[in-house]
């Protein structure tokens, strides 16, 4: 149905603030059943030969998807009702419905009364994308899990479930009634005025059906086609030229049209296909549009690993490839036990913090784009390169102040003493008992198995990085290829002997210490080395953009205290005593 333009409602930020309103006990929240979707890659879009294809479904392109969880069913009326009851959220009282042979905006129609009878187990409809985001924000706050809408790529990957046909049951639309609630003979009979040809089958449903009534796809997901269109994160584009290849959402500031997928009980034959891209204004509410939730596999609060106290030799000798003067002299450090983040703090976890506090982490960041590095406006932790990034990637474009604000919030929220690690703690944790350049060995060309480093993919994704005038003179990239050109989902590579991930590569990590010219006079008990008025802070571990000799356990990066860079993030530490 064609829609008049509708102005955006609440933004995601305001929606997230609902986390703190109307809290109910976690065990009272009717959480959606979730299915773990394995990581993989697939061909997104449809070939020109597919019946019903639209131009916006091409060109076909390969997309890599990180593991995530997706709702087994669309969100139901009962689940949405629990959210409204807990928060008092107003999801409107006008909805576009198809009644008496016409589709119109009708006062008095809403998710409670879409113009036809529903059970509590039917998918909620007459909800716009803001309503859906408000629900996922509330659910995140009640459960300490990172719920969200799926990206368009995640949705299609999950819908296809390994298939390449137009529908996950094959290419025949008339087999739909075993798998999906579609516009069939019953739908046609119960909706006079729907003039398009129905599917040549009959499931007995004229409108929405209780979720899970039809056969699931190979991933065990129900109603991925039919029943209700499902909102996704992305803005809609005319085609896939320039689309992200990493499964992230494709959206722009001021997006007017949002994507939705899967077709519905009211959809034409060509709309009920895995590649079909629906679009509506962000504020639209329709009687055949609902949503399904996705969830990060990482919790909203960092997972920690307790490390035993011990002694190690900190720094590197002149014989180590890439050694710099500030890494010496090598000296023994003995420190007590502490805990450190199993992973770097993710975008999803930082989002949770910003949502609860309203913290402003700035809107400019030094990044590398179009062959040049520099400080750019409209680049930030949400959009380091001008587009949203995956929730499970490390947060970047954050300063030491931003990281400190996060750990202070985390401490207040949990009653535990979170902080940034000291430089000595970081190196002790990274080495995990090793004395080689990195925790795998001394070869800097083996880094691709343990970290996301500047390698062949990085070289392709960052053209111009080796040219005069670029932000970093890289020299040759590592002689390996990990497949990532920018940040990778945390935990994508082998952990070290302590079970810590991404201690090498992915993102530089802020520590507490000031930078010094060398280790002469350095503390020997693991405490931070703070010298007077500290202007330059230490970062550790290297990144996806670091020159070949930077991802080493002893390497000391340095940046001004307030700087935000597109390869700089952090991980947290925790006192055990």
Q: Give pLDDT tens digits for 92-122.
A: 999 999 999 999 999 999 999 999 999 999 9
The pLDDT of residue 412 is 95
The residue out of 266, 295, 324 marking a domain boundary is: 295
Please state, in angstroms and rounded to a whole number, the distance separating the CA atoms of residues 500 and 341.
Answer: 8
Does residue 335 share a domain with residue 275? Answer: no
| Residue 26 is assigned to a structural domain of this protein | no
Question: Residue 207 half-sphere exposure, CB side, CA atoms within 13 Å?
Answer: 21
282 and 357, same domain (yes or no): no
**Stretch 75-86: mean pLDDT:** 97
Looking at residue 466, what is its pLDDT? 62
Does 268 map to a domain?
A: yes
Domain contains 27? no
The sheet that has 68-71: what strands, in order across it? 34-37, 68-71, 294-295, 147-148
Rounded percentage of the chain residues whose pLDDT exceeds 90: 78
Residue range 501-525: average pLDDT?
96
For residue 454, what pLDDT is reported? 87
548 to 190, 219, 263, 366, 512: CA distances (angstroms): 66, 40, 48, 20, 25
What is the rounded average pLDDT of the residues 495-508?
96
The C-alpha atoms of residue 228 and residue 222 are separated, in whole angstroms, by: 12
* Beta-carbon contacts of residue 93 (< 8 Å; ≥ 6 apart): 107, 108, 109, 110
Q: Which one of 263, 295, 327 terminates a domain? A: 295
DSSP 287: T
Residue 433 phi/psi, 5° resolution?
Answer: 95, -5
The pLDDT, as a whole number, for residue 38 is 96
Write down the pLDDT at residue 475: 60
- Residue 468 confidence (pLDDT): 45
Taking each continuous run of H as one helix and of E as one strand, the counts in the chain are: 9, 24
The more confidently predicted of residues 430 and 464 is 430
CB 17 within 8 A of CB 353: no
Q: Is the pLDDT of residue 12 over 50?
A: no
User: In the prediction, which pLDDT does 450 show?
Assistant: 87
Which pTM does this prediction carry? Answer: 0.84
Q: Which of 251, 272, 295 is the last residue of a domain?
A: 295
Residue 448's pLDDT is what? 84
Q: Are residues 242 and 356 in the same domain?
A: no
What is the distance between the alpha carbons of residues 85 and 83, in angstroms, rounded to a whole number? 5
| SS3 state of residue 484 | coil
> pLDDT for 321-346, tens place per residue?
999 999 999 999 999 999 999 999 99
- Sorting pLDDT into bands at 50, 70 and 90, what band is 458? confident
Name the 3-class secondary structure at 290: strand
pLDDT at 280: 92
**pLDDT attached to residue 469:** 44
**Contact (Cβ atoms closer than 8 angstroms) between residue 160 and residue 42:** yes
Average the pLDDT over each of 11-20, 190-199, 367-376, 488-497 and give the range with the smallest value: 11-20
pLDDT surpassing 70 at residue 467: no
Residue with tokens 């179009």: 370
320 and 278 in one domain?
no
Contact 375, 364 (CB under 8 A): yes
Order across the sheet with 277-281: list the strands: 277-281, 257-261, 229-235, 289-290
- 308 and 184 fall within a common domain: no
pLDDT at 54: 96
> Considering the chain, what is the average pLDDT of its residues?
90
Low-confidence winner among 168-177, 381-390, 458-467 (lowest mean pLDDT): 458-467
Q: What is d(CA 277, CA 297) in angstroms, rounded to the nearest whole number? A: 26
Question: What integer pLDDT is reported at residue 572 of this predicted model?
Answer: 98
Average pLDDT over every residue of 163-192: 96
> Which among 12, 34, 294 is positioned nearest to 147, based on CA atoms?
294
Q: Are 437 and 427 in contact (CB under 8 A)?
A: no
Mean predicted confidence (pLDDT) in 450-459: 86
492 falls within a domain:
yes
Mean pLDDT of 4-23: 33
The count of residues in the chain is 577
Confidence of residue 361 (pLDDT cuts 50, 70, 90): very high
User: For residues 229 and 13, which has the higher predicted lDDT (pLDDT)?
Assistant: 229
As a whole number, mean pLDDT of residues 257-282 equals 94
Same domain flag for 219 and 346: no
Domain CATH for 478: 3.90.1580.10
Note the pLDDT of residue 470: 44
Spatial distance between the Cα atoms of 431 and 442, rounded to a whole number of angstroms: 12
pLDDT higher at 471 or 457: 457
3-state SS string for 336-391: CCEEEECCCCEHHHHHHHHHHHCCCCCCEEEEEECCEEEEEECCCCCCCCCCCCCC
Confidence class of residue 40 from pLDDT cuts 50, 70 and 90? very high
Return the pLDDT at 14.
Answer: 34
Indicate whether 138 and 96 sit together in one domain. yes
Q: What is the pLDDT of residue 28?
A: 67
Q: Return d(Cα 167, Cα 40) in angstroms, integer.
A: 19
Which one is predicted more confidently, 64 or 481? 64
Please say if the pLDDT value at position 26 is more than 60.
no
- Name the helix (H) or strand (E) containing 286: none
Do 398 and 530 belong together in one domain?
yes
pLDDT at 24 over 50: no
What domain count does the chain have? 2
Question: Which domain does 339 fall in, by range?
Answer: 304-575
- Distance in Å from the first CA to the final CA of the chain: 62
* Residue 94: both structure tokens together: 């006008």
Domain check: are 217 and 158 in the same one? yes
Residue 69: pLDDT over 80 = yes
In this structure, the answer to whether residues 313 and 250 fall within a common structural domain is no
Residue 7 in any domain: the answer is no
Q: Are the C-beta atoms of 300 and 349 separated by less than 8 Å?
A: yes
Q: Average pLDDT in the 538-552 region?
A: 90
| 157 lies in some domain | yes
DSSP string for residues in 97-145: EEETTEEEEEET-SSS--SS---TTSBP-S--HHHHHHHHHHHHHHHTS
In the structure encoding, which two tokens stand for residue 59, read together? 């060109």
In a domain, 21, yes or no: no
Provide the phi-psi class of 108: left if phi over 0, else alpha when psi is between -120 and 50, else beta: left
- Do 177 and 212 fall within a single domain? yes
**pLDDT tens sequence across 483-493:** 898 999 999 99
Taken in order 373, 378, 383, 388, is the CA torsion positive or negative?
Answer: negative
Tell whether 43 and 163 lie within a shared domain: yes
With beta carbons less than 8 A apart as the criterion, state whether 192 and 173 touch: no
Do the beta carbons of residue 537 and residue 516 sit within 8 Å? no
Q: Residue 447: what pLDDT? A: 78
5 in a domain, yes or no? no
With residue 334 as reference, give the H or E element that holds it.
strand 331-335
Owner of token pair 């940046």:
559
State whether residue 2 is helix, strand or coil.
coil
pLDDT in tens, 440-451: 888 877 778 889
Q: What share of the chain is helix, strand, coil (3-state, %, to 5)?
A: 20, 20, 60
Please give the pLDDT value at position 17: 36
Place of tokens 């040809």: 197
């Amino acid at each position: 149905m064609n829609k008049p333009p509708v102005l955006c409602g609440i933004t995601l930020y305001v929606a997230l603030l609902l986390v703190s309103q109307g809290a109910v006990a976690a065990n009272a929240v009717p959480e959606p059943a979730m299915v773990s979707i394995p990581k993989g890659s697939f061909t997104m879009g449809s070939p020109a030969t597919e019946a019903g294809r639209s131009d916006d479904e091409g060109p076909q392109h390969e997309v890599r998807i990180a593991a995530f969880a997706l709702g087994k069913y669309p969100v139901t009326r009962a689940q949405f009702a629990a959210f409204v009851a807990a928060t008092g959220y107003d999801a409107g009282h006008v909805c576009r419905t198809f009644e008496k042979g016409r589709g119109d905006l009708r006062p008095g129609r809403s998710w409670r009364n879409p113009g036809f009878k529903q059970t509590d187990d039917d998918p909620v409809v007459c909800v716009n994308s803001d309503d859906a985001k408000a629900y996922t924000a509330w659910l995140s706050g009640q459960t300490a899990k990172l719920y969200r809408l799926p990206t368009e790529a995640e949705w299609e990957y999950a819908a296809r479930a390994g298939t390449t046909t137009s529908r996950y049951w094959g290419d025949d639309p008339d087999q739909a009634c075993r798998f999906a609630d579609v516009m069939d003979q019953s739908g046609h009979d119960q909706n006079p005025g729907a003039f398009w040809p129905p599917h040549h089958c009959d499931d007995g449903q004229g409108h929405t059906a209780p979720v899970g009534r039809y056969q699931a796809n190979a991933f065990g997901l129900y109603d991925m086609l039919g029943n209700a269109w499902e909102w996704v994160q992305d803005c809609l584009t005319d085609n896939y030229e320039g689309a992200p290849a990493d499964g992230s959402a494709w959206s722009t500031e001021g997006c007017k049209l949002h994507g939705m997928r899967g077709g519905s009980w009211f959809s034409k034959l060509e709309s009920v296909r895995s590649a079909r891209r629906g679009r509506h204004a962000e504020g639209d509410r329709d009687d055949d549009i609902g949503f399904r939730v996705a969830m990060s596999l990482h919790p909203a609060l960092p997972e920690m690993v307790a490390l035993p106290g011990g002694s190690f030799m900190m720094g590197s000798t002149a014989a180590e490839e890439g050694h710099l003067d500030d890494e010496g002299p090598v000296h023994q450090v003995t420190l007590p036990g502490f805990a450190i983040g199993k992973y770097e703090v993710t975008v999803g976890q930082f989002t949770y913090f910003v949502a609860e506090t309203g913290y402003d982490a700035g809107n400019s960041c030094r990044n590398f784009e179009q062959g040049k590095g520099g400080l750019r406006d409209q680049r930030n932790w949400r959009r380091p390169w001008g587009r949203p990034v995956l929730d499970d990637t490390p947060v970047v474009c954050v300063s030491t102040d931003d990281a400190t604000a996060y750990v202070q919030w985390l401490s207040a929220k949990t009653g535990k003493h979170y902080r940034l690690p000291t430089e000595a703690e970081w190196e002790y944790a990274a080495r995990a008992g090793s004395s080689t350049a990195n925790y795998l060995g001394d070869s800097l060309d083996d880094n691709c198995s343990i970290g996301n480093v500047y390698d062949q993919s990085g070289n392709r994704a960052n053209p111009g990085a080796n040219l005069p005038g670029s932000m970093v003179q890289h020299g040759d990239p590592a002689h390996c290829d990990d497949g990532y050109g920018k940040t990778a989902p945390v935990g994508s590579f082998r952990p070290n002997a302590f079970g810590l991930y991404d201690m090498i590569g992915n993102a530089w990590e802020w520590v507490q210490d000031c930078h010094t010219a060398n280790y002469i006079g350095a503390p020997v008990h693991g405490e931070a080395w703070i010298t007077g008025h500290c202007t330059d802070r230490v970062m550790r571990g290297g990144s996806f953009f670091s020159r070949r000799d930077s991802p080493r356990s002893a390497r000391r990066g340095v940046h001004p205290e307030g700087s935000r860079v597109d390869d700089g993030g952090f991980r947290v530490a925790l006192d055990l005593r």
